[in-house]
Structure 1
Amino acid sequence: MKSPTPNGIAVTHARDWIIGFDADDTLWHNERFFRITQDRFAALLADHCAPDHLAERLLAAERRNLGHYGYGIKGFMLSMIETALEVTGGDLPGHVVAEILAAGQEMLAHPIDLLPHAREAVEAMAAQAHIVLITKGDLLDQERKLAQSGIGDLFDGVEIVSEKTAPVYARIFAGHAQAMMIGNSLKSDVLPALEAGAWGVHVPHEMTWDLEHALAPKDHPRFREIADLGSLPALLASLP
């Protein structure tokens, strides 16, 4: 990683842009591992609950528990256990708990698989602007993924936050004339960044968690959408 200044961002570029990148499902695959584990969870509890209903119960538990556990795999594991207790009436076999824990541990050890054009886009932005990774979730897991991604050294700074809000983006982007946030989540990456005065760039991913869905602000003057990160350099060049 580039040497930071006291505020955590290295001043090495002529243009006064700061560009934030989301991590999960923007730079590397993430949600697909949750989907695989959720299918495994449904198979474990097939005798107690239909898959669609189980998915609804699990999503409700995740929504309910965000304030307690935050985002990430560990909270997902606890929500699965809670949901399993609910649908079995508290009569949850120990081997099912062991399977859930094993599935979560496998998720925590999964290798990092960069999305198409991720490295090239980060390299291109690093040559023109201050770039920072802005992600939420479990601290240790996010640090592990960044370390294994092979692109960590390209960032001027890393922010692992409990929630992505307008004040969080305003703090990170403070002192720069122009700012941009890039991510697959309209709810977390785009809308609060726009509220903070930055550009919001949506890069849709085929698998986005239900709790990250929101309506695209198509009429907002600082909103843009690109098909993949390969279009990012041209987008930046087109902006005023």
Structure 2
Amino acid sequence: MYKNIKVIAFDADDTLWVNETYFREAEEDFAQLVSKYETKNKIDQELFQTEIKNLAFYGYGVKGFILSMIECALELSNYQIKQQTIASILNIGKEMLEKPIELLQGVEEALQSLEGKYKLIVATKGDLLDQERKLEKSNLLKYFHHIEVMSDKKEKDYLKLIKHLEIHPSELLMIGNSLKSDVLPLIKIGASAIHVPFHTTWVHEEVSIEESSKLAYKTVSNIKDVVGLF
């Protein structure tokens, strides 16, 4: 199935290391800070809607999330939020940016097995500075030939990446935790993809069973299981 593969691309957040868990923790902290203005459920809904609205302005990543939390707090409080609370929201974001890198089980073993046999790259969304920082702290940079921080992960974005790599779609394999971003777009353009689920998924990245069942792809429970597929 993967005989033509020349390049293996890895998603970063929640594929190589823990990420989404920190967003869920930050959302809990944010809800506590603004709990006097709304219910927990309403706060969660409003924050998510604000994030989605702001993707076109800020893209993905912690910095956009911080700005969305501040905007949401202002609106929920009818612009009565205290300056100290705004400072606390900023501190939530700074703490997220300073989180240690926790590699997921099997990541380094998989990279060691595939290194030298294929060109390994990172293809991830998020803030450029933050992703570069995390890659540096992860000690995984030595395995990768190329790092691509993408503004989005739709079919057109992957086609642009393939053109840059000067390969055919059938020569690219993507490995990631998100069906919406790391799997389905690849299958649709004639590339290959392997799904490695993470226990927490952002609502924006979820897809319906009907949508995910239309296309053929493999799922493994641990990233090191990818090696056995070759």
TM-score by length of 1: 0.88
Higher helix share: 2
Query: Any runs of at least 4 consecutive aligned residues in structure 1 with deviations exceeding 2 A, and if so which?
Result: 170-174, 215-221
Does residue 205 (structure 1) correspond to residue 198 (structure 2)? The answer is yes
Output aligned runs, 1:132-211, within 5 Å: 132-173=121-162, 174-176=166-168, 178-211=171-204
8 Å CA contact 2:5–2:173 kept in 1: the answer is no
Q: Structure 2: 5+ residue runs without aligned partners?
A: none
> Which residue pairs with 1:10 in the alignment?
none
8 Å CA contact 1:21–1:182 kept in 2: the answer is yes
Over the matched positions of the two proteins, sequence identity in percent amounts to 40
Q: Deviations over 1:139-177 (max 9, x none)?
A: 100000000101111001110111112222223334255
After superposition, the CA RMSD in angstroms is 1.6
Q: Deviations over 1:24-54 (max 9, x none)?
A: 0000000111111111111111111111110
> Which residue pairs with 1:220 in the alignment?
215
Aligned equivalents of 1:132, 1:16: Cα separation in 2:
13
Aligned equivalents of 1:125, 1:213: Cα separation in 2:
29
Offset of residue 215 of structure 1: 3.1
**Letter aligned with residue 99 of structure 1:** S
TM-score by length of 2: 0.92
> Which residue pairs with 2:90 in the alignment?
101
> Which residue pairs with 2:81 in the alignment?
92
Offset of residue 137 of structure 1: 0.7
**Letter aligned with residue 226 of structure 2:** L
Aligned equivalents of 2:112, 2:190: Cα separation in 1:
25
> Which residue pairs with 1:231 in the alignment?
225
8 Å CA contact 1:226–1:232 kept in 2: the answer is yes
Q: Structure 1: 5+ residue runs without aligned partners?
A: 1-14
8 Å CA contact 1:186–1:215 kept in 2: the answer is no
